Structure 1
Amino acid sequence: MSALNEDEFENILSIQNKCTRLNLNENIYGTFAEIGAGQETVRHFFRAGNPKGTIAKTLSAYDKDFSDAIYGLDPQNRYVTVERLKRMIDYEAELIEQRLSRKKYPDKLFFSYANTVATIDWAKKYKGHGWLGIKFQREPKQAYSEIILHVQFHENNASQQQISLGIMGVNLIYAAFYQSDDPKELIKKLYDHLSKDKIEIDSINFKGPVFKNVDNRLMSLELVKNGITEAVMFSPEGNNILPANVLYKKHILTLRGSFRPVTNLNLNMFLSARNLFLNQENVDPDKTVIIFEMTLNNLKSEGDNEINEKDFLDRADLLCASGQTVMISNFQEYYKVVEYFAQHTKKELGLVMGVDNLIDIFNERYYRHLSGGILEAFGKLFFKSLKVYLYPIKDEKTGEIITSKTLKVHPRVKELYKFFVDNGKVIDIEDYDEKSLDIHPRQVYEMILEGNHEWEKMVPGLTAKMIKEKNMFSKEKASHS
Structure 2
Amino acid sequence: MSVIHQKLTPKQKALAINLDSSIYGTFAEIGAGQETVRYFFRAGAASQTIAKAMSAYDKDFSDAIYGKETKNRYVTQNRLRKMLRYEVGLVEERISRDNNPGKKFFSYANTVTTINFDKTMKGHGWVGIRYQLSENEDYNEIVIHVKFNDNDATLQQETLGALGVNLIYGAFYYADNPRRLIDSLYDELSTDRVEIDMIDFSGPCFEYVDNRLMSLQLVKKGMTDAVIFNSEGNNMLPADILYKKNIFAVRGSFRPVTKVNIDMFVNGLDMFLKDVGCTNEDTQVLFEITIANLRADGDIDERDFLDRVDVLAKLGYTIMISNFSEYYRMVDYFSAYTNQNIGVAMGVNNLLDVFDEEYYKNLSGGILEAFGKFFKKDMRVYLYPYKDATTGDLLTSENLKVQSNLKELYKYFKLNKRIVDIKDYNPQFLEIYSRDVLKKINCHECGWEEQLPKGVAEIIKDRGMFGYKEVSLID
Asked if these proteins are the same fold (TM beyond 0.5), I'd say: yes
C-alpha distance 455-94 of structure 1, shift in aligned 2 (>3 A) = same
**Aligned counterpart for 2:284 among listed residues 289, 298, 301:** 289
Mapping for residues 41-190 of structure 1, pairs under 5 Å = 41-190=36-185
- Maintained 8 Å contact 2:461/2:468: no
2:206 maps to which residue?
211
Mapping for residues 441-456 of structure 1, pairs under 5 Å = 441-456=434-449
- Looking at structure 2, the residues matched to 280 and 248 of structure 1 have their Cα atoms a distance apart, in angstroms, of 21
Deviation, 1:362, is: 0.8
- Maintained 8 Å contact 2:463/2:469: no
- Looking at structure 1, the residues matched to 152 and 117 of structure 2 have their Cα atoms a distance apart, in angstroms, of 9
2:380 maps to which residue?
387
1:430 maps to which residue?
423
- Paired letter, 2:316: G
Misfit runs of 4+, over 4 Å: 475-478
- Looking at structure 2, the residues matched to 477 and 31 of structure 1 have their Cα atoms a distance apart, in angstroms, of 51
- Looking at structure 2, the residues matched to 202 and 219 of structure 1 have their Cα atoms a distance apart, in angstroms, of 11
| TM-score, reference length from structure 2 | 0.97
- Looking at structure 2, the residues matched to 470 and 427 of structure 1 have their Cα atoms a distance apart, in angstroms, of 39
- Maintained 8 Å contact 2:122/2:149: yes
Deviation, 1:476, is: 6.7
- Paired letter, 2:108: Y
Partner SS for 2:447: helix
- Is 1:368 the counterpart of 2:361? The answer is yes
C-alpha distance 440-94 of structure 1, shift in aligned 2 (>3 A) = same
1:225 maps to which residue?
220
Deviation, 1:477, is: 7.0
Deviation, 1:475, is: 6.2
- Looking at structure 2, the residues matched to 453 and 360 of structure 1 have their Cα atoms a distance apart, in angstroms, of 33
Partner SS for 1:43: helix
**Aligned counterpart for 1:471 among listed residues 464, 471, 474:** 464
Deviation, 1:400, is: 2.1
Aligned length: 471
- Looking at structure 2, the residues matched to 337 and 419 of structure 1 have their Cα atoms a distance apart, in angstroms, of 22
- Maintained 8 Å contact 2:7/2:187: no
- Is 1:11 the counterpart of 2:24? The answer is no
- Looking at structure 1, the residues matched to 168 and 97 of structure 2 have their Cα atoms a distance apart, in angstroms, of 22
- Is 1:278 the counterpart of 2:307? The answer is no
- Looking at structure 2, the residues matched to 282 and 387 of structure 1 have their Cα atoms a distance apart, in angstroms, of 14
Per-residue CA deviations over 1:323-349 (Å, capped at 9, x if unaligned) read 111000001100000100000001100
Partner SS for 1:280: helix
**Aligned counterpart for 1:235 among listed residues 230, 237, 246:** 230
Bigger drift between 451-460 and 279-288 goes to 279-288
- Paired letter, 2:323: N
| TM-score, reference length from structure 1 | 0.96
Deviation, 1:274, is: 1.0
% same residue: 53
- Paired letter, 1:257: G
- Looking at structure 2, the residues matched to 477 and 107 of structure 1 have their Cα atoms a distance apart, in angstroms, of 47
- Is 1:326 the counterpart of 2:324? The answer is no
Deviation, 1:282, is: 3.6
- Looking at structure 1, the residues matched to 214 and 12 of structure 2 have their Cα atoms a distance apart, in angstroms, of 27
- Paired letter, 2:148: F
- Looking at structure 2, the residues matched to 477 and 232 of structure 1 have their Cα atoms a distance apart, in angstroms, of 31
Partner SS for 1:104: coil
C-alpha distance 87-65 of structure 1, shift in aligned 2 (>3 A) = same
- Paired letter, 2:453: P
**Aligned counterpart for 1:312 among listed residues 290, 302, 305:** 305
**Aligned counterpart for 1:263 among listed residues 231, 238, 258:** 258
Partner SS for 1:453: coil
- Looking at structure 2, the residues matched to 77 and 107 of structure 1 have their Cα atoms a distance apart, in angstroms, of 40
**Aligned counterpart for 1:410 among listed residues 403, 409, 417:** 403
- Maintained 8 Å contact 2:231/2:313: yes
Deviation, 1:398, is: 2.7
Bigger drift between 164-173 and 13-22 goes to 13-22
- Maintained 8 Å contact 1:339/1:380: yes
- Looking at structure 1, the residues matched to 438 and 85 of structure 2 have their Cα atoms a distance apart, in angstroms, of 45
- Maintained 8 Å contact 1:32/1:113: yes
- Paired letter, 1:67: S
Deviation, 1:447, is: 1.1
2:249 maps to which residue?
254
Per-residue CA deviations over 1:105-129 (Å, capped at 9, x if unaligned) read 2210000100000000001000000
- Maintained 8 Å contact 1:311/1:477: no
- Maintained 8 Å contact 2:83/2:109: yes
Partner SS for 2:18: helix
Deviation, 1:174, is: 0.4
C-alpha distance 126-12 of structure 1, shift in aligned 2 (>3 A) = closer
- Looking at structure 2, the residues matched to 385 and 245 of structure 1 have their Cα atoms a distance apart, in angstroms, of 23
- Maintained 8 Å contact 1:263/1:459: yes
- Looking at structure 2, the residues matched to 42 and 476 of structure 1 have their Cα atoms a distance apart, in angstroms, of 52
Partner SS for 2:124: strand
- Is 1:196 the counterpart of 2:191? The answer is yes
- Is 1:35 the counterpart of 2:30? The answer is yes
1:462 maps to which residue?
455
- Paired letter, 1:410: Q
- Looking at structure 2, the residues matched to 267 and 12 of structure 1 have their Cα atoms a distance apart, in angstroms, of 47
Partner SS for 1:174: helix
Per-residue CA deviations over 1:220-244 (Å, capped at 9, x if unaligned) read 0000000110101011110111111
Partner SS for 1:142: coil
- Looking at structure 2, the residues matched to 107 and 476 of structure 1 have their Cα atoms a distance apart, in angstroms, of 47
Partner SS for 1:274: helix
- Maintained 8 Å contact 1:154/1:198: yes
- Maintained 8 Å contact 1:347/1:385: no
Structure 2 gaps, min length 5: none
Structure 1 gaps, min length 5: none
Per-residue CA deviations over 1:26-66 (Å, capped at 9, x if unaligned) read 11000000000110000110011210111011110000001
- Paired letter, 2:439: E
C-alpha distance 356-422 of structure 1, shift in aligned 2 (>3 A) = same
- Looking at structure 2, the residues matched to 60 and 477 of structure 1 have their Cα atoms a distance apart, in angstroms, of 56
